[in-house]
């Protein structure tokens, strides 16, 4: 299953790099009063989004491109959580990252009436990580543990959940949770129907603050670049 999932994620990354989509991001600052949680501030933005993947073998570079379409007016000086890269959290299963995680034996699980393979994963301390926290100009690799639900027939990832493996209160991070949902997308000209990111929810809490970001990915289209080259003669 791991070998097939690795091949599937490699193929997903190749396909994903050929697509563009609309990404809607909702950033929410939450405040807790007694036992109730309320919204202190919310901001929404819409982007043209694409991912560029480069490298092979032991060198893999992932770059995201965002071109803002529109944004709600920022009326208050409220610190917001900036999150990116979660569309590709399935890189946990990519051959480049697989050796950095321990995986449990797949277990059968029924989700929405469909049989899926449920696999728990846990980061191996000191190994490379597909996610980092950028805090005050410094990068902290996140050691995550979580669960993935995989279609046993196609080896496509259907859903992922992840959280911190260990507490990071020493740098002010008390909790971090993320959930990514994938959906089949029918694209003209493609013989297969890839499962692509549809929704990513990220929640982060420090000693005094809590944020929730939601990313929605829609309107997938094939992305291509064409160039014309001419030679000027004297």
The answer to the question of residue 234 being in a domain is no
The answer to the question of residue 202 being in a domain is yes
pLDDT of residue 3: 94
Mean pLDDT of 106-124: 94
* Residue 227 binned pLDDT confidence (cut-offs 50, 70, 90): very low
- Taking only the tens place, the pLDDT of each residue in 137-174 is 788 888 999 999 999 999 999 999 999 998 888 888 88
CATH number (domain holding residue 158): 2.50.20
Q: Measured between alpha carbons, how far is residue 150 from residues 4, 47, 95, 120, 161 in Å? A: 10, 29, 16, 11, 12
pLDDT of residue 230 exceeding 60: no
Mean pLDDT of 81-86: 86
Question: Which residue did the predictor score with more confidence, 25 or 85?
Answer: 25
Asked whether 78 and 211 are in contact (CB, 8 A), the reply is: no
Beta bridge partners of 176: 204
Beta bridge partners of 211: 29, 204
The answer to the question of residue 190 being in a domain is yes
Least confident of 10-24, 50-64, 86-100, 176-190: 50-64
pLDDT of residue 232 exceeding 60: no
pLDDT of residue 22: 95
pLDDT of residue 64: 85
The answer to the question of residue 229 being in a domain is no
Report how many domains make up the chain.
Answer: 1
pTM value surpassing 0.85: yes
Mean pLDDT of 96-121: 94
The answer to the question of residue 231 being in a domain is no
Q: Measured between alpha carbons, how far is residue 100 from residues 59, 60, 108, 211 in Å? A: 14, 14, 24, 28
The answer to the question of residue 226 being in a domain is no
Range of the domain at 197: 2-220
pLDDT of residue 133 exceeding 60: yes
The answer to the question of residue 104 being in a domain is yes
- Taking only the tens place, the pLDDT of each residue in 19-69 is 899 999 999 999 877 667 788 889 999 999 998 877 655 677 888 888 888
The answer to the question of residue 124 being in a domain is yes
Alpha-carbon span 182 to 186, nearest angstrom:
13
Provide the mean pLDDT of the chain: 86
* Residue 223 binned pLDDT confidence (cut-offs 50, 70, 90): confident
* Residue 123 binned pLDDT confidence (cut-offs 50, 70, 90): very high
Least confident of 26-35, 67-76, 93-102, 182-191: 67-76
Mean pLDDT of 76-88: 82
pLDDT of residue 79 exceeding 60: yes
Beta bridge partners of 117: 108, 150
């Amino acid at each position: 299953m791991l070998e097939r999932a690795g091949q599937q994620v490699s193929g997903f990354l190749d396909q994903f790099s050929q697509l563009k989509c609309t990404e809607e991001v909702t950033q929410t600052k939450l405040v807790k009063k007694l036992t109730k949680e309320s919204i202190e501030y919310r901001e929404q933005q819409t982007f043209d989004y694409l991912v560029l993947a480069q490298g092979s073998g032991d060198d893999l570079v992932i770059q995201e491109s965002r071109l803002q379409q529109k944004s709600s007016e920022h009326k208050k000086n409220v610190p917001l959580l900036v999150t990116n890269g979660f569309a590709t959290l399935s890189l946990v299963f990519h051959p480049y990252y697989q050796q950095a995680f321990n995986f449990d034996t797949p277990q059968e699980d029924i989700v929405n009436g469909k049989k899926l393979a449920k696999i728990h994963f846990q980061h191996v301390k000191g190994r490379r990580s597909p996610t980092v926290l950028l805090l005050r100009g410094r990068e902290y690799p996140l050691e995550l543990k979580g669960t993935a639900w995989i279609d046993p027939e196609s080896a496509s990832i259907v859903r992922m959940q992840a959280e911190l493996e260990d507490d990071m209160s020493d740098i002010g991070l008390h909790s971090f949770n993320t959930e990514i949902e994938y959906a089949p997308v029918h694209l003209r000209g493609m013989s297969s129907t890839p499962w692509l990111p549809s929704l990513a929810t990220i929640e982060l809490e420090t000693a005094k603050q809590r944020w929730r970001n939601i990313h929605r990915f829609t309107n997938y289209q094939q992305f291509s670049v064409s160039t014309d080259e001419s030679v000027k003669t004297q």
